[in-house]
Structure 1
Amino acid sequence: MNVNPITRLDYPDPDVIRVEDTYYMVSTTMHFMPGCEILQSFDLVHWEHVTYVYETLDHTDAQQLKSGHNIYGQGMWAASLRYHEGRFYICFVANDTRKTYLYTSEKIDGPWKKQLIEGFYHDGSLLFDEDGRNYIVYGNDEIWITELNEDLTAPKKDGLHRLLVSDHKNPELGYEGSHIQKINGYYYIFLVHSLRDRWMRTEACFYSDSLEGEFTGGDVLCDDRGYCGQGVAQGGIVDTPDGKWYAMLFQDSGAVGRIPILLPVTWKDHFPVFGQNGHVPEEIEVHSTRPGYIYQPLVGSDDFCNGLLPRWQFNHDPDPRYYHLDASQGTYTITTREVCTELTQAVNTLTQRMSYPSCAAEVTVDASALKEGDVAGLCALQGCYAAVGITKHHGKYEVLMLDKKEDGILDMTEGTVVESHQMDFRLEADFCNMKDEARCYYRVNKGDWLPIGTVHKLYFKLDHFTGCRFGLFCYAAEETGGSACFRDFKYYDVDEIS
């Protein structure tokens, strides 16, 4: 038996397809680069990285963490993944560029060709119909369908364009997160919205035997798994080679992010029935199309001796001039590019997703090349971040904790002078039942771990709109050109934390 949640990591807005014996999932990656990650699975439960669709998007220089600008909480989201006539399609919008992107490839691992679709289609979902016509379904509150031209570059002149369903009266969240699928002659649109009297994600489905006809339906799942009132919703359904159906949705889980949830789908009078007796089962039976397959982990430790592993993403568009990976030495070095007031402005911060329900990370930092005022270390990256690091102050090395509060105030512990320029840092996070706390530690010369600062409260907020991540950072507070060298990154999940 397999237990929800799936992946235990922040993979929101999932869209899943099956091609022969392999399942593929795309998920929102927002501002992280490279972006638009695709995973693969043979049983819908265990997943591994396949590729990133792009290295960077069309961000202007002003948006690449220069002059205080950023694209946190923007970038790509809610992609649609399709396979049609031997070609993969990925469609998504980016709020910062206000563009709709379409990437295509004959192979899942690329190369991917980029083009734009004229218009902006919020949470768009592609449909390739059997008659050769192409559509995109999209919107929030109002869900529309627009027919696209043959080469998918713009709406088709005089093509179908109509309102399908609407939810104007919902004060919390109207319909969005469209997923359209054609199954056995019927068109199904899967949507997320909230209960009207309180925040609670709810999954809905509407269907019709014609795109010109009336779409009828309603809610198909309203369940929080007994977890903090956080509803499970937004996603589509996928079939197995033996004819079973499953839904891949997600659940808000506090600061750790939005985690995929898998549940069975059955059918009654051509309408999907989600879960068991209206609820998400905690244990779910699945069958692998490749029994015994060994998956590569989505997160984990790294000695930096094998290049930059795909489990890492930069906090924004990276600047290769200011970082260096030395596989022979097993090091990752960041050189400061501009003066910053805080670590979220630092370029080339290297991140990994944190794990539910708890996790920890450690890293060794060589600060010998820091300049006066530089700060380098290990952080829990989000808008309200926690970090433990080393700085150079009046020519001496000091260890400190950075504590960014929910109200935006940044506290720094008074620096503790240390005699060594090489330091080990440790950061622990507890997300169980949305406790969302982080603790910071340091040690000198492989001695005992020493706590520093206060217990930090983490939050999932719309400013970053992503789950909290471990980050390796270095930034300048006074002058540029200093650097920090990172090695021996260790990742521990809940089963490994003592």
Structure 2
Amino acid sequence: MKNILVIICCLLITICSVGQQQVEWGKWKIWGDQGNGIYVNPIIPSDYSDIDCIRVSNDYYAISSTFQFSPGMTILHSRDLVNWEISGNIIDDLTQISNELSWTHMNRYGKGVWAGTLRYHNERFYLFFGTPDEGYFMTSAPTVKGPWEPLTQLLSEAGWDDCTTMWDDDGQACFIGTHFSDGYKTYMFKMSVDGKSIDRKSAVLINSGDGREANKLIKINGWYYLVFSEYKAGLGRYVMAKRSRKMMGPYYEEKQLALSNREAMEPNQGGIIQGMDNKWYFLTHHGTGDWSGRIVSLLPVTWVDDWPIIGEVLPGSIGRMKWSGAMPFIDKKKLNINRTDDFGDGKLSPQWQWNYQPRQEMFSLSVRPGWLRLKAYTPLKVNKLMTAGNTLTQRCFRKQDNDVIVKMDITNMADGQKNGLCHFSSQHAALGIVKEGKNSYLEYRKNDSITRGPQVHSPFIWLKSQWGLDGNSRFFYSLDGDNFIAFGESYQLVWGNYRGDRLGIYCFNDNNEKGFVDIDYFHYQ
């Protein structure tokens, strides 16, 4: 028995050592829950940016910013802080914020729904968030599944971001936000008990300078901590904290909690949370984005002199990136982020988001049960995919083997119609079908430069994209679902508009509102 324990301990040490030596970004072969009591970072190698996290009883909930995508503000659920599922998206109608976020305008790339904070108070969930152009908003619901109330605007001013809130033990409430357009000055406001208003005149400056944002206000063991990130030229972005014995401050004491860890793409924004093992953790995104976006890791938190030091604790009581650790909890049911959809539920799976608020009557999951119908209408600019409203998207992953196949019924396409499978961020590429007169052709698109392919006579077409850890994608097509032929250039997935690469299914018509395409399935290995 003793020998078995020694072997197990040696195995765990070896696994942890392998994970901790992983410093070359993006070349991981293992990630997440390893099934042996160990997890390896990243835990979600996908673009779940601006994470905040709360614990409610034995469940964890996290939110992620969504920018112009609809529905907005994704909410995740976990039982162990490592395995997550998408619980849903909170903001159904982005036009509550601005019509600029609608298919009629499409004028908020890189803007829209930015970072927020999630809270649970008096048996109710609260979401607070900001947009850089319109200000701060909030909504609340009895459960994470909703129904979420219509948005309430708290501050109608441009130039603010990264808010956080708290209800103190006596019921007093506060709201914190950063005025990034005025030298990154962070203010605390008095907030109404129902969370639906803030007193603009009550603003007190509590932090400023050096790109300070990513605010999270927490209370632990009698201390109030304002956790935030800071940026300095030559050093990068890293995690800081100020603390006080009173919620309303003053916040005089200050400490750097972690190094910038540039080799790990600067983990810096997230939520400090207590695990089921009674240990503390920092659920964070990696803030320097590349083609995979700002992906998610889980770092241990060690309390040193009542300061939450993040990651591996170094001499001087400062933390750095840690690539692995023991699972905070072992749950029998392993949650996962779904990517595949057979469109058989009568509603879109929660991983899907439209590029901008969609035109509701131009898609259907009921007219042909088991299929998604996309109806074609004209883009805001002729033949410009990034201004075409009927584009359904989801996040892609940075893992060794990615294989996405879409099956389309193209028999009802009309003259001028174009539809297909795309990758997009600040740049894009796609493989699809174009209808000209009575003929259909294959076409490869790269930033609106088009390569014409062979004529297609089949009523069905299968389109595929494959990529690996390097983010180099190749497109393929098939006329029988089994034999695939490569077409078009290879395409390097890119970062842009504060987002990593997105997968999309698009449908538009340059000539008029005619034609549609039916999607049988979207299979993402």
Deviation of 1:62 (Å):
5.6
Map 1:19-168 → 2, pairs under 5 A: 19-57=56-94, 58=96, 60-61=98-99, 63-66=101-104, 69-96=106-133, 98-114=134-150, 115-120=152-157, 121-139=160-178, 140=180, 141-156=184-199, 159=202, 161-167=203-209
1:270 aligned onto 2:309: no
The CA RMSD measured in Å over matched residues stands at: 2.1
Question: Which of residues 392, 396, 399 is equivalent to 1:354?
Answer: 396
**Residues 214/335 of structure 1: CA separation in 2 closer, same or farther (3 Å cut):** closer
Between 1:37-46 and 1:115-124, the stretch displaced more is 115-124
- Partners of 1:324 and 1:286 lie apart in 2 by 42
3-state SS, counterpart of residue 140 of structure 2: strand
CA deviation string 1:123-165 (max 9, x = no partner): 1100111222111111132222111233433333874x32112
Question: Which of residues 371, 381, 385 is equivalent to 1:343?
Answer: 385
1:219 aligned onto 2:261: no
CA deviation string 1:387-423 (max 9, x = no partner): 000111343211111101xxxxx21112322222421
- Partners of 1:77 and 1:164 lie apart in 2 by 22
- Partners of 1:148 and 1:220 lie apart in 2 by 28
| 1:483 equivalent in structure 2 | 516
**Larger helix proportion, structure 1 or 2?**
2
Residues 397 and 421, structure 1, Cα contact 8 Å, conserved in 2: no
Question: Which of residues 326, 338, 341 is equivalent to 1:285?
Answer: 326
| 1:495 equivalent in structure 2 | none
Residues 190 and 235, structure 1, Cα contact 8 Å, conserved in 2: no
Deviation of 1:473 (Å):
0.8
Deviation of 1:447 (Å):
5.0
Question: Which of residues 408, 413, 435 is equivalent to 1:370?
Answer: 413
1:473 aligned onto 2:506: yes
Residues 27 and 78, structure 1, Cα contact 8 Å, conserved in 2: yes
1:453 aligned onto 2:491: no
3-state SS, counterpart of residue 282 of structure 2: strand
- Partners of 1:90 and 1:103 lie apart in 2 by 5
TM-score normalised by L of structure 1: 0.89
- Partners of 1:390 and 1:177 lie apart in 2 by 43
Question: Which of residues 179, 188, 206 is equivalent to 2:216?
Answer: 179
- Partners of 1:365 and 1:157 lie apart in 2 by 53
1:379 aligned onto 2:436: no
| 1:429 equivalent in structure 2 | 467
**Residues 444/276 of structure 1: CA separation in 2 closer, same or farther (3 Å cut):** same
- Amino acid corresponding to residue 338 of structure 1 in structure 2: T
CA deviation string 1:407-442 (max 9, x = no partner): xxx211123222224211001233x3xx33221111
TM-score normalised by L of structure 2: 0.84
- Partners of 2:418 and 2:368 lie apart in 1 by 26
Residues 225 and 280, structure 1, Cα contact 8 Å, conserved in 2: no
Between 1:54-63 and 1:234-243, the stretch displaced more is 54-63
3-state SS, counterpart of residue 386 of structure 2: helix
3-state SS, counterpart of residue 187 of structure 2: strand
Question: Which of residues 24, 35, 45 is equivalent to 1:8?
Answer: 45
- Partners of 1:112 and 1:440 lie apart in 2 by 39
Residues 37 and 51, structure 1, Cα contact 8 Å, conserved in 2: yes
Residues 305 and 327, structure 1, Cα contact 8 Å, conserved in 2: no
3-state SS, counterpart of residue 453 of structure 1: coil
Question: Which of residues 345, 353, 365 is equivalent to 1:325?
Answer: 365
Deviation of 1:16 (Å):
0.5
Residues 20 and 241, structure 1, Cα contact 8 Å, conserved in 2: no
Residues 283 and 296, structure 2, Cα contact 8 Å, conserved in 1: yes
Residues 80 and 276, structure 2, Cα contact 8 Å, conserved in 1: no
Deviation of 1:119 (Å):
4.5
Deviation of 1:82 (Å):
0.8
- Amino acid corresponding to residue 474 of structure 1 in structure 2: C
**Residues 63/281 of structure 1: CA separation in 2 closer, same or farther (3 Å cut):** closer
Residues 76 and 85, structure 2, Cα contact 8 Å, conserved in 1: yes
3-state SS, counterpart of residue 44 of structure 2: coil
CA deviation string 1:315-366 (max 9, x = no partner): 2212221111148642111111224422222223221210113522111112
- Amino acid corresponding to residue 293 of structure 1 in structure 2: K
Between 1:99-108 and 1:43-52, the stretch displaced more is 99-108
- Partners of 2:425 and 2:431 lie apart in 1 by 14
- Amino acid corresponding to residue 364 of structure 2 in structure 1: H
Deviation of 1:487 (Å):
1.2
- Amino acid corresponding to residue 170 of structure 2 in structure 1: D
Residues 340 and 522, structure 2, Cα contact 8 Å, conserved in 1: yes
Deviation of 1:382 (Å):
1.9
Residues 38 and 51, structure 1, Cα contact 8 Å, conserved in 2: yes
- Partners of 2:101 and 2:127 lie apart in 1 by 24
Residues 149 and 157, structure 1, Cα contact 8 Å, conserved in 2: no
- Partners of 1:70 and 1:415 lie apart in 2 by 32
Deviation of 1:279 (Å):
2.3
- Partners of 2:399 and 2:205 lie apart in 1 by 41
- Partners of 2:520 and 2:54 lie apart in 1 by 38
Between 1:388-397 and 1:203-212, the stretch displaced more is 203-212
Question: Which of residues 280, 297, 310 is equivalent to 1:245?
Answer: 280
CA deviation string 1:188-218 (max 9, x = no partner): 11112223225x3311112122333242223
Deviation of 1:41 (Å):
0.8
3-state SS, counterpart of residue 362 of structure 1: strand
- Amino acid corresponding to residue 343 of structure 1 in structure 2: L
3-state SS, counterpart of residue 344 of structure 1: helix
What stretches of structure 2 of length at least 5 have no aligned partner?
Answer: 1-37, 314-318
Deviation of 1:17 (Å):
0.7
- Partners of 1:259 and 1:300 lie apart in 2 by 16
| 2:432 equivalent in structure 1 | 389
| 1:420 equivalent in structure 2 | 458
The number of equivalent residue pairs is 469
CA deviation string 1:273-303 (max 9, x = no partner): 1111332221121232x720232x3232222
| 2:34 equivalent in structure 1 | none
**Residues 236/116 of structure 1: CA separation in 2 closer, same or farther (3 Å cut):** same
Residues 386 and 438, structure 1, Cα contact 8 Å, conserved in 2: no
Deviation of 1:248 (Å):
1.0
- Amino acid corresponding to residue 336 of structure 1 in structure 2: A
Residues 304 and 326, structure 1, Cα contact 8 Å, conserved in 2: no
3-state SS, counterpart of residue 130 of structure 2: strand
